[in-house]
Homo-oligomer: A and B are copies of this chain.
Amino acid sequence: MAKWPVSPPMQRALELARAAAAVGEVPVGAVVTRGGAVVGEGHNLTRSTSDPTAHAEIVAIRRAAEALGDERLTGCDLHVTLEPCAMCAGAIAHARIARLYYGAPDPKGGAVDHGARVFAHPQCLHVPQVYPGMGEGEAAQLLRGFFAERR
A residues bordering B, Cβ < 8 Å? 46-47, 49-54, 58, 61-62, 65-66, 68-73, 85-91, 93-96, 107-111, 114-118, 121, 123-125
Closest to A125 in B: B109
Q: A51-B66, A108-B123, A111-B116 are in contact. List 5 more A-B contacts (CB 8 A).
A: A54-B71, A88-B90, A109-B123, A110-B123, A115-B121
CB distance from A43 to the nearest CB of B (A): 15
Q: Kindly state the separation between the CA atoms of A92 and B53 in the bound complex, as whole angstroms.
A: 9
CB distance from A62 to the nearest CB of B (A): 6
- Quick check: B61 and A52 within 8 Å, CB to CB? yes
Q: Kindly state the separation between the CA atoms of A51 and B68 in the bound complex, as whole angstroms.
A: 10
Interface centre among A49, A68, A116 (most CB of B within 10 A): A116
Q: Would you give 7 A-B contacts (Cβ < 8 Å), ordered by A?
A: A52-B73, A85-B94, A86-B116, A88-B90, A109-B125, A115-B121, A115-B123
- Quick check: B87 and A111 within 8 Å, CB to CB? no
Q: Kindly state the separation between the CA atoms of A69 and B51 in the bound complex, as whole angstroms.
A: 9
A86-B118 in contact given A123-B107, A123-B109 (Cβ < 8 Å):
yes
A121-B116 in contact given A53-B94, A58-B53, A85-B90 (Cβ < 8 Å):
yes
Q: Kindly state the separation between the CA atoms of A110 and B125 in the bound complex, as whole angstroms.
A: 11
Chain B contacts for A68, CB-based, 8 A: 50
